[in-house]
A and B are shown apart, each in its own frame.
Chain A
Amino acid sequence: MLLGSLDQYLINGLVLGVIYAMVAVGFTLFFGVLNVIKFSHGDVLMAGAFAALIAYISLQNFVSISIWMMVVITTTFAFAAMALFGAIVARFLVLPLRGAPPLNTLLITLMLGLAVREAVRLFYPNGSNPKPFPKLLPDTDIFIFGLEIRHDSLIIIFGGLAAICFLHLLIKKTRLGLSIQAVAQDSETARLMGINFQKIVLGTFALGSGLAALAGVLNGLYYNEINFSMGLLLGVVGFSSAVVGGLGSILGAIIGGFLFALLQTIGAIWFEVPAYKDVFAFVVIIAVMAWRPTGLLAETKSDRV
């Protein structure tokens, strides 16, 4: 027996897919340019959602602005705050650890994630409890191809896709993107071309972290609730998606994100107990990894970003 209509499963799956893809792209970017796995990424997503919430609360009290303006301002603030945070983490935590075993970076960022999580829990007023996230998007229904879709879901899906496409174009079509690709493929030769390695690494971490913040905001807009530990599962899912797609490949990360959401959806339809959907998705991902240890779009040493 289905708990909801098939339409709803489909839309829900697409929303989750977009959000996972956005998180996975960050993992793949960081791995691409610096060969590191940054495990605080899920908590950056959470902090981004909280940054948007703080911006909303501060603005709502003393200015009257249109709801769309509010969406733009809060989202921009969350993006900018996390981009800055990402660059700072890269500068003072990740770059100094270059040359140390990769496991160290993984552990340090794991601890950083814990610190961010605990900081929100302790310092945000009543931070251990879930916080309502403002309903900024209209929840009226529209019909497309006979599907009943809520406006907010549609905006979230297209907003997320737009962000991913924007990032893709930035990497493929701009001077900054060319530098990022060059650093990812051969950082030493990139420096010989006159590329400032550190600047590109910081820029990449800023981009990836900003994208995670956007994912956090979309997540908040979708569920209308956020909490200090929301980044835990989203981080693990984003990481698994990036790995299953082939760490280092952006297209792989996007495919991985949607694949994970698809598996969860299948799991949710198949098993009547909702909690089984994650177990099902992870089991399949593990099976895929056993079959293709380097991911679906296998990354070789030279196959970067």
Chain B
Amino acid sequence: MPNLLEVDDLYVGYDEADVLSGVSLKVKPGKITCLLGANGAGKTTLIRALLALTPTRQGKIFFDGEEITHQATHNIVRLGISTIPEGRRVFPKLTVIENLLTGAILEKNKRKIGSRIEEVLKIFPQLSDRKKQLAGTMSGGEQAMLSIGRGLMSAPRLLVIDEPSLGLSPLFVKENFKVIRSIKERGITVLLVEQNVKQTLEIADYGYLIAQGKVVASGASAELNKTDQVQLAYFGSKQ
């Protein structure tokens, strides 16, 4: 099957130095592909480049066969990519429902929007009691649910998730991984950025390990788990 997302020899940086130098990766449809790596490895930078929030210096990005490298962010999103950004980034002065509505801002059909809201509230029943609450006043865990829910509101083909468990209690982290697995079961392709090596490799089909802006290991999750680099990263992140 063709790849849903393909990154080819990507160079990205903020100032002078490159943060990513020659990253290539593939995301297969219907699977969970994970991106592992220590803090500062360049994972978020890669996500930002995919969505054209940070300009690409060199290399190409394809989504479903179409080159998206230098397109505007909103046009890339229109193709069916949804993002749960690092740090959740819910709109603090919007209510829970309004936040969900921003996720479906491209959808004109009111009935579809309504049924998606229902679906999201079914996945996260805790949000149902807080429909009118301002997102900025919620706890980190609730904001994480809202951010994931908002990401699902566009019924995306590819869901990009950047460190969903950052700063959450172990209980929430476990819950998050369960939700991500169920998202895959709905037929949505997932690109998951994580530092939680063990739990991530348990749900992912395929993975890439990034260190200092380069892919240093990749493969099916079970094999990746055995490589020295991942073992090292695993122990590194465990301490």
Contact = CB atoms under 8 A, between A and B. Distances in A.
Contacts of A186: 89, 91
Interface stretch (A88-96, A141-149, A192-200, A225-233): A192-200
Contacts of A185: 91-94
A241 interface: no
A302 B93 contact: yes
A277 interface: no
Contact of B105 (A188, A195, A302, A305): A195
A188 B91 CA distance: 11
5 contacts: A182-B94, A190-B102, A193-B150, A196-B74, A197-B74
Interface in A186-230: 186, 188-197
Closest 7 CB pairs of A and B: A194-B77, A191-B73, A302-B92, A189-B89, A194-B106, A185-B91, A192-B83
A243 to B, nearest CB: 20
Contact of B93 (A179, A189, A191, A303): A303
Contacts, number: 68
Contacts of A75: none
Given A182-B102, A192-B89, A193-B105, 16 more contacts: A178-B105, A181-B91, A181-B94, A185-B92, A185-B93, A186-B91, A188-B85, A191-B74, A192-B83, A193-B77, A193-B103, A193-B150, A194-B74, A194-B154, A196-B72, A302-B93
Interface residues of B, number: 23
Interface string A269-305: 0000000000000000000000000000000001111
B46 to A, nearest CB: 15
Nearest to A305: B93
Given A175-B105, A194-B154, A195-B105, A189 B91 contact: yes
Contact of B78 (A181, A194, A304, A305): A194
Given A178-B102, A303-B93, A189 B77 contact: no
Contacts of B136: 302
Interface string B92-113: 1110001001110110000000
Interface in B180-218: none
B51 interface: yes
Contacts of B78: 194
A304 B94 CA distance: 10
B5 to A, nearest CB: 16
A123 B77 CA distance: 47
